Chain A
Amino acid sequence: MLLWTKPGKIVTWIAFALVFGVLVLAPFIVVAAAAFAGSWNGVFPSSPTTSHLAEALSGDELASLTVSLQTAFLGGLLAVVLGTWAALAARNAPKPLARFADALHHLPIAVPSVVVGLSLLVAFSRQPVLLNGTKWIVVIAHLVLMVAFSYGTVAAALQRTNDAYAEVAASLGASPARVLWQIRLPMLRPAIVSAASLSIALSMGEVGATIMVYPASWRTLPVSVFALTDRGQTFTAAAESLVLLAVTVVLVVTLDRLRGRSVER
């Protein structure tokens, strides 16, 4: 949008500040405020306390955080490996097969996550593959959802890379494995790290599918937040949300740094 007059610019900025402030920023501030509120009866919270935060970082709730982290790393890692592999394979596959792989990997994005969760639950609740009640059904649900994003990110990066690099490497006598490990994958590193960071961020916040499949022993942090809110413990839920937010931001920023460095090199 190109605006040349001063009033025009001012009006736009005010509109932007209102929309962004009220719809995006304010809810975060409210959650942060609620996390430290002893009570909230008037317009503003009162009797500030850190007891909710302490609660969020102890016992069952702390266990939820480690469960979330394990799920995100396990699911995310597997998703990146599988997504990268699939993207590389699709690149050299015949056209119809590549298009089929493309469509297949976009399915989990199109299908509602609740449906993904339900279908996994139905599929793995009986022999021969009985995973219901184990943490693996949660990891698989996350994997299914994240692999689509990993595949998409890596495939897009692959589309931009020239085959000439791999061809020249081969002409210099490199075996296909050497070409893969020393040329193709290092050149895809920024995209792979992006995919990992996206997968982990999404996994940390995943509720829809998780809530359908999680066993009592493997409750992720967002599910805990949901359960607490459901029981009316809004302040503890807010404190836990704050922890979730902080951990996710730290993870994504760290991974982003990693990517930044690899681009710089």
Chain B
Amino acid sequence: MTVRLEDVTVRFGQTVALEGLDLTVAAGETVALLGPSGSGKSTALKAIAGFVRPSRGRIWLAGADVTDVPPARRGIGVVVQQYALFPHLRVADNVAFGLRAARKPKAEVARRVAEVLEMVGMAKYARRYPRELSGGQQQRVAIARALAIQPPVLLLDEPLAALDAQLRADMLGELQKLRREVPDVAIVYVTHDQSEALALADRIAVMRDARLVDIAPAADLYSAPPSAFTASFLGGANLLPVEVVEGGVRLAGQTLAGLRPQAATLPGDAGGASYQGAGRSGAGGRSEALLLCIRPHAIKLSDRVGEADAVGERGEGGGATAGDSWPGVLVGAQWRGASSRLTCVIDGLPAVSVQVDVPTGECLPEVGAKVSIELPVEACTLVAAEGR
């Protein structure tokens, strides 16, 4: 592994900026540190770069302890948020800075500068000053400057945050392309934008309040989020309070069959047969505070045609009906271009609004209409509620 953080804690006076972070990043791997502002993700990056000294814990680079090694001797490439291109140096001199600091021969400096500028498509701009470049061009130069020293590790701190939406989408593609050009470099990518993390990262580390919440391959985190925070921060999942019952979970008085808490959600409880007892009384009543997690696009919504039908349907099974449709009311709709975001409330659960994404082109119910909310069981997962 190229980068290893061991229980890294950073304190500024009384404030804890980062608490006990354990993280490893392998060569060729991209790990995104994802979290809201103040979650400690930038501090983690600064600790790896050597800009802040951890109050506790060790940092390893390629097997060597670098906790007390100054940034100049770590050989890590860093791209900061505002790029920090040296304003008094031309693009080529900016890129050559690290090579000259390493006292590389002139010919080699020139060759390497041309090479990395070519890689980021900025060869034409070598003679320009940074302020003569657009935001996207400055960003490419900043990446070229960081890569010029051939670092084993590249740190990117919110590299797209300063760009406008269209450019951000373009640069995301550029970054993916760049990733393939430096296949052996370990990349740590700090962002608050889940779409950047999903597009670029092999693994995503979700951070919150100076702590690592979850870390897993991007697809796993998305499809089966281990915590409520990850579920809502990564992809804005709906979180609905449920209770574990025999054969499934109970949501607003109705049972959704076939959904079981995972072993991770209920520790020490692997078998399906025993989970019920633990869920009811054992494990400190932990299973009482479970949330059903489902993505807005996975929910199916239909008009409740004929109120009597729906009531009848429910009536058949009485209060304990099993099924995957809940009656509710549509309370709001936002058109978002390719899809519409609908807000619904399930009958009997007035405090929780359910977000549903419906592709444009499908017939939408009127706001205020009674709807049937279908939660396909294969798209549902269970997570523990906050505050454990």
Chain A residues in the interface with B (C-beta under 8 A)? 162, 164-165, 167-176, 178, 182-183, 186-187, 189, 262, 265
Please, how many angstroms separate the alpha-carbon atoms of A168 and B80 in the complex?
A: 8
A-contacting 9-mer, from B71-79, B107-115, B175-183, B241-249: B71-79
Interface of A, secondary structure class, is: helix
Q: Are A175 and B72 interface neighbours, CB within 8 A?
A: yes
Q: Are B87 and A172 interface neighbours, CB within 8 A?
A: no
Distance to closest chain B CB from A78 (angstroms): 25
Q: Are B101 and A175 interface neighbours, CB within 8 A?
A: yes
Q: Are A171 and B86 interface neighbours, CB within 8 A?
A: no
CB-contact partner of B82 in A162, A171, A262, A265, under 8 A: A162
A-B residue pairs in contact (CB < 8 Å), sample of 24? A162-B82, A164-B81, A165-B84, A167-B71, A167-B78, A167-B84, A168-B78, A168-B145, A169-B101, A170-B51, A171-B49, A171-B77, A171-B146, A172-B72, A172-B97, A172-B101, A173-B98, A173-B102, A173-B149, A176-B72, A183-B86, A186-B86, A187-B86, A189-B88
Contact of A170 with B86 at beta-carbon distance under 8 Å, contacts A175-B101, A178-B101, A265-B129 already known: no
Contacting residues, chain A, for B76 (C-beta < 8 A): 171
Q: Are B72 and A174 interface neighbours, CB within 8 A?
A: yes
Count B interface residues, CB 8 Å: 27
Q: Are B86 and A169 interface neighbours, CB within 8 A?
A: yes
Q: Are A186 and B82 interface neighbours, CB within 8 A?
A: no
Distance to closest chain A CB from B337 (angstroms): 36
CB-contact partner of A170 in B72, B81, B88, B129, under 8 A: B72
10 tightest CB-CB pairs across the interface, nearest first? Answer: A172-B98, A164-B84, A174-B101, A173-B101, A171-B78, A170-B71, A171-B71, A186-B88, A164-B80, A168-B84
Q: Are B87 and A187 interface neighbours, CB within 8 A?
A: yes
Query: Does any Cβ of A come within 8 Å of B35's Cβ?
Result: no
Across the interface, name the chain B residue whose C-beta is closest to A174.
Answer: B101
Contact of A173 with B78 at beta-carbon distance under 8 Å, contacts A167-B49, A187-B87 already known: no
Please, how many angstroms separate the alpha-carbon atoms of A164 and B78 in the complex?
A: 10
Q: Are B77 and A162 interface neighbours, CB within 8 A?
A: no
Distance to closest chain A CB from B185 (angstroms): 15
Contact residues of B between 52 and 101, Cβ < 8 Å to A: 70-78, 80-82, 84, 86-88, 97-98, 101
Best-buried of B73, B75, B84 by chain A (most CB within 10 Å): B84
Query: Does any Cβ of A come within 8 Å of B50's Cβ?
Result: yes
Contacting residues, chain B, for A265 (C-beta < 8 A): 88, 129
Contact of A171 with B72 at beta-carbon distance under 8 Å, contacts A178-B101, A265-B129 already known: yes
Contacting residues, chain B, for A187 (C-beta < 8 A): 86-88
Contacting residues, chain B, for A174 (C-beta < 8 A): 72, 97-98, 101
Distance to closest chain A CB from B75 (angstroms): 7
Given A170-B51, A187-B88; 10 other pairs, CB 8 A cutoff = A167-B71, A167-B84, A169-B86, A171-B49, A171-B51, A172-B149, A173-B72, A174-B97, A176-B72, A265-B88
Contacting residues, chain A, for B81 (C-beta < 8 A): 164
Please, how many angstroms separate the alpha-carbon atoms of A225 and B181 in the complex?
A: 73
Contacting residues, chain A, for B145 (C-beta < 8 A): 168, 172
Q: Are B88 and A171 interface neighbours, CB within 8 A?
A: no
Distance to closest chain A CB from B359 (angstroms): 43
Q: Are B51 and A167 interface neighbours, CB within 8 A?
A: yes
Best-buried of B50, B77, B97 by chain A (most CB within 10 Å): B97
Best-buried of A165, A171, A189, A262 by chain B (most CB within 10 Å): A171
Please, how many angstroms separate the alpha-carbon atoms of A182 and B100 in the complex?
A: 11
Across the interface, name the chain A residue whose C-beta is closest to B87.
Answer: A187
Distance to closest chain B CB from A265 (angstroms): 6
Contacting residues, chain A, for B101 (C-beta < 8 A): 169, 172-175, 178
Contact of A169 with B49 at beta-carbon distance under 8 Å, contacts A164-B84, A187-B87 already known: no
Distance to closest chain A CB from B106 (angstroms): 17
